[in-house]
Amino acid sequence: MDRPEEANFRKVLKAFEAKTGATVQYASTGENTDAYLGPRISAKNPPDVAILPQPGLMQQYAAKGSLKPLSADVVAEVDKNFAPYWKDLGSAKGQTYGVMTKAAYKSILWYRTKAFEDAGVQPRRRSTTW
């Protein structure tokens, strides 16, 4: 059974097909996108579009020359609709290769200051040694 996010994404793809006449073949890469894409890229059989889970992976593929930059008209739409920071996340060495479709904080630590105060301790402050 599909997860709700994937099921909703499939609905978007279906609407895209209906509106554009394009044919979409969707394949989930699972938990390790590079394990799925790496062999396809090496075999010169990459997908036309890939959704990468982090900008660093896009940077790696761009550095290897495995990506094609977005066309000027698509970059113009990115410029018009996204803050420069988001464009930078989808770019490498002056070329724009992608557009951020989702952002999520996954490494934030929340704590109750009162719990620390009651325990008589201070939370660790950000340092350069972390």
Longest distance between any two alpha carbons in the chain, whole Å: 64
pLDDT given at position 126 = 63
Residues of the chain with pLDDT > 70, as a percent, come to 92
Amino acid at 116: F
Residues shown for the chain: 130
Q: φ and ψ at 123, to 5 degrees?
A: -65, 150
Residues in a beta bridge with 22:
none
What predicted TM-score, i.e. pTM, was given to this entire model? 0.69
Asked whether the predicted pLDDT for residue 1 surpasses 60, the reply is no
Helix boundaries (H) for 1-130: 4-20, 33-42, 55-63, 72-81, 84-89, 113-119
**Residue 84, number of CB atoms within 10 A of its CB:** 10
Residue-wise pLDDT tens digits, 71-116: 999 999 999 999 999 999 999 999 999 988 887 777 777 778 888 8
